[in-house]
Structure 1
Amino acid sequence: MTEIELWPDAGRRRWRLITDMVMGGVSQGTLHAPSAGEHAPVRMRGAVSTENNGGFIQIALDLQPDGGAFDASAFTGIGLEVFGNGETYGAHLRTTDMVRPQQSYRHAFVAPPHPTVLRLPFAEFQPHRIETPFVPARLRRVGLVAIGRAFDADLSVVRLWLY
């Protein structure tokens, strides 16, 4: 395989917003996801705060409807077409090997003010709070995260795919 579209994909997969409020933080965020048939990017906006041990807002996309593994072993990495406010964000991959919410494989990227295609090879993702090597056959979720410092987040995703 050369490529597979993850989003947009005719509504089979849905983005969701997750903030540090799940752990007592005070970061605020919104998610605008286009309606079925609407051709528009998904957009995450908000204010990241490090108060109260917080520090993130995230949009996440489960790759299977049941949250199980998606076999991405035939692919080299994640492709993104994004734009935003020039800030640095994180692409976080989660696999079925993970048992704690803070575990992920991470790759930083900058969201420039105009739509830009980024290719993030799996080999460049760094493990965070997990010892297990990344296994593409166990990929479960892709998250795009504003994290680690106080700032205003504004990130739009035009397209997401595996290459």
Structure 2
Amino acid sequence: MELNLNWEYVADTVMGGVSRGKITAAVIKGRDAVQLTGQVSLENDGGFIQMAADLPPEVQALGFTGLEVDATGNGEAYDIRLRTTDLTRPWQSYRTAFTPGPDWGSYRLPFAAFEAHRTDAPFNPANLRRLGIVAIGHAFAADVSVAAVRLYRA
């Protein structure tokens, strides 16, 4: 099931960090995509930039195996972070990473691969409400483009 997402840009500046970036809708290597670019900085307790989107209310992930992301990037690892209605704090999420290379690829990320972060709540796909693609972890130039995100069944 293809997800029609309305991406927004979020950075560590909301917490005093100094990372800088942007998201842009563009044709990247022949495909319509949303591109996240910028510089991740660890200064001032920062360290991330991200593109994030709320799932439309009619989307129900129950019964699906995971996410499939069509992406290209600069060979850096990027986090995929999921949030559900079970999470109440902004630092809580379910996380996994992927490393998109210079050519377009489809990356299957099973829900079972996502690890709970700072929560004891088990991941419940029925309550999935938001996803983010995050450049985080070290200082680097971020460049990742996403042409599609789908829910898939095995």
How high is the TM-score relative to the length of structure 2?
0.92
How high is the TM-score relative to the length of structure 1?
0.87
| C-alpha separation in 1, matches of 2:33 and 2:135 | 17
| C-alpha separation in 1, matches of 2:52 and 2:122 | 21
Q: Partner of 2:84 in structure 1?
A: 95
2:10 to 18, 22, 27: 18
Q: CA RMSD in A?
A: 1.5
1:46 to 27, 38, 42: 38
Which amino acid in the other structure matches residue 6 of structure 2?
Answer: R
Alpha carbons of structure 1 residues 69 and 142: separation in structure 2 relative to 1, 3 Å: farther
Alpha carbons of structure 1 residues 43 and 107: separation in structure 2 relative to 1, 3 Å: same
1:116 to 101, 105, 110: 105
Q: Does 1:60 align with 2:52?
A: yes
Which amino acid in the other structure matches residue 138 of structure 1?
Answer: N
Report Cα offsets for 1:106-158 as digits up to 9, x if no partner. Answer: 01100100001110000010011111000000000110000111000000001
Paired residue total = 149
Secondary structure of 1:26 counterpart: coil
| TM-superposed deviation, 1:69 | 8.3
Aligned-residue sequence identity (percent) comes to 52
Superposed structure 1 runs of 4+ greater than 6 Å apart:
none
Alpha carbons of structure 1 residues 158 and 75: separation in structure 2 relative to 1, 3 Å: same
Report Cα offsets for 1:24-80 as digits up to 9, x if no partner. Answer: 10000110025xxxx61100000001111111000001102xxx6842111000000
| TM-superposed deviation, 1:101 | 1.1
Q: Which runs of 5+ in 2 are unaligned?
A: none
| C-alpha separation in 2, matches of 1:143 and 1:49 | 19
Which amino acid in the other structure matches residue 118 of structure 1?
Answer: Y
Secondary structure of 1:18 counterpart: strand
| C-alpha separation in 1, matches of 2:54 and 2:141 | 25
